[in-house]
A and B are shown apart, each in its own frame.
Chain A
Amino acid sequence: MNMTRRQLLILLPAAAVAWKSILAGTPEASPNYNMTEHWWGMLVDITKCIGCGSCVRACQMENAVTDGYFRTWVERYHVSDYDIENPKVDSPDGGKNGFPPAAVSDGKNFFVPKMCNHCADSPCTQVCPVGATFVSPDGVVLVDQKYCLGCRYCVQACPYGCRFVDPKKETAQKCTLCYHRITKGLTTACCENCPTGARQLADLKNPNDPIHEFLKTHAVQVLKPYLATRSKLFYNGLDGSVR
């Protein structure tokens, strides 16, 4: 085959474009789950939380979370009489094994389950230098475990302290909202195992989800609303002392 240098130079870019379109392939069709039909969040009813730690244990078992690290945890707040700005917070082993009896009986005591807020405008995804973390089209903040470098930018950026770098994998880890469960029609491990129903998975795009009625009829709050992260972790009965 005879080809001049000029012909080769003209052909190369065309070949590159063709090769790229071959590599791109066609996206895999998912017959059962359509990402565009969902917008996930969660409802936490603090008035129902008994601090049993079932959610923490369930999360660790379901997601094989390294011991000593938590994708969800429970905090116990103690607010001395009217000292709302200085709550005392403890969370022994993430609340995994429950809580010891309170040392003091004044003021008020309550439990606050914490986890990723799955913010629609998440500060953690904006700082990733390699595009390894993102908000999925159905509103779940995920980490690409193959792309993450473990640089910890996102760990610092999360205002809710919901990320950590796994010491073995050296990648950022966080709550996936049990993405492997909710895409199969199950609820999250923490919601499934909450004995009092203090946690409820919520699909904000599903008009039949009871979350809509609940949000309309209750005084619901998100954590740190002044950060405008558009958190989708809704708290019922959230005390002003909660950080």
Chain B
Amino acid sequence: MKAFKDAGHLFRLASVFLVGGVLFLAFRGVLVPRSFGQYGHYRGNAIKETAALPISYAGHQVCESCHADILEVKSKGVHKGVACEACHGPLAKHADDPASIQPAKLDTAVLCVRCHEANLAKPKSFPQVVSAEHSGGAPCDTCHQPHSPAIVAVAGASQ
């Protein structure tokens, strides 16, 4: 006895669902990036892409590997904790190719006041000057050497 006379309809319906399911999986396989879901609900390769971005600041350790003489001077002064590129700017390209890419000369009149211009919001213990009163417009490196700014040779300089 036949259980259901139009059972063929059910098979046709089931095959439609099956084909739909297969198509869904196939499209999903193509459209969803392979690293999606590797670590969570995101593309795992996005982490690698972010990590692969280029570096602009080489880091003071790289500078010090060549400029040991500057490090020697700097490590004795109050600027020992200031990284090279904080003043000299991003120089990873110079570190990669020291011969052809040279850092620009710096203007201490601009550079020093970024940190040392007096401002009420700065911590009181931080050395600050009103630059117009302090030097009368003369560049800071007339008296101070930026790598070790304390004035030690005052007697000799004043003739």
CA distance A189 to B83 in the complex (A): 11
B54 contacts partner chain A, Cβ-Cβ < 8 Å: yes
Contact B29 A23 (CB under 8 A): yes
Contact B21 A13 (CB under 8 A): yes
Question: Are A131 and B43 also in contact (CB < 8 A) when A19-B29, A101-B120, A102-B120 are?
Answer: yes
Question: Are A9 and B34 also in contact (CB < 8 A) when A16-B25, A192-B60, A193-B85 are?
Answer: no
B78 to chain A, nearest CB (A): 11
Contact A110 B121 (CB under 8 A): yes
Contact A35 B48 (CB under 8 A): no
CA distance A137 to B123 in the complex (A): 37
* Complex contacts, A63 vs chain B, CB 8 Å: 53
CA distance A180 to B89 in the complex (A): 18
Question: Are A54 and B86 also in contact (CB < 8 A) when A62-B56, A144-B46 are?
Answer: yes
* Complex contacts, A144 vs chain B, CB 8 Å: 42-43, 46, 49
CA distance A25 to B36 in the complex (A): 12
Contact A76 B121 (CB under 8 A): yes
Residues of chain B having any CB pair with chain A under 8 Å = 15, 18-19, 21-22, 25-26, 28-30, 34-36, 38-44, 46-57, 59-60, 79, 81-83, 85-86, 89-90, 113-115, 117-123, 126
A27 contacts partner chain B, Cβ-Cβ < 8 Å: yes
Question: Are A131 and B90 also in contact (CB < 8 A) when A51-B122, A109-B121 are?
Answer: no
* Complex contacts, B86 vs chain A, CB 8 Å: 54, 58, 192-195
Contact A62 B90 (CB under 8 A): yes
A225 to chain B, nearest CB (A): 24
- Nearest CB to that of B56 among chain A residues? A62
CA distance A144 to B44 in the complex (A): 9
Question: Are A192 and B121 also in contact (CB < 8 A) when A13-B21, A61-B90, A146-B43 are?
Answer: no
Q: List 13 A-B contacts (CB under 8 A).
A: A53-B114, A63-B53, A98-B113, A109-B119, A134-B46, A135-B40, A143-B46, A147-B42, A180-B54, A181-B57, A192-B57, A193-B85, A196-B81
A132 contacts partner chain B, Cβ-Cβ < 8 Å: yes
Cβ-closest 3 pairs across A and B: A144-B46, A109-B121, A180-B53
Chain B CB within 10 Å, residue with most, of A58, A97, A102, A187 = A58
Contact A58 B46 (CB under 8 A): no
Residues of chain A having any CB pair with chain B under 8 Å = 9, 12-13, 16-17, 19-20, 23-25, 27-28, 33, 35, 47-54, 58, 61-63, 76-78, 97-99, 101-102, 105, 109-111, 131-137, 142-147, 176, 179-181, 183-184, 186-187, 189, 192-197
CA distance A46 to B102 in the complex (A): 35
Partner of B51, one of A51, A58, A132, A179: A179
Partner of B22, one of A16, A143, A183, A197: A16
Question: Are A180 and B50 also in contact (CB < 8 A) when A51-B122, A61-B56 are?
Answer: yes
Contact A102 B121 (CB under 8 A): yes
CA distance A198 to B16 in the complex (A): 65
Contact B43 A19 (CB under 8 A): no
Contact A193 B51 (CB under 8 A): no
Question: Are A176 and B50 also in contact (CB < 8 A) when A24-B34, A192-B59, A193-B57 are?
Answer: yes
Partner of A99, one of B26, B60, B119: B119
Contact B26 A16 (CB under 8 A): yes
Partner of A195, one of B26, B40, B82: B82
* Complex contacts, A47 vs chain B, CB 8 Å: 123
* Complex contacts, A136 vs chain B, CB 8 Å: 39, 47
* Complex contacts, A101 vs chain B, CB 8 Å: 118-120
- Nearest CB to that of A183 among chain B residues? B51
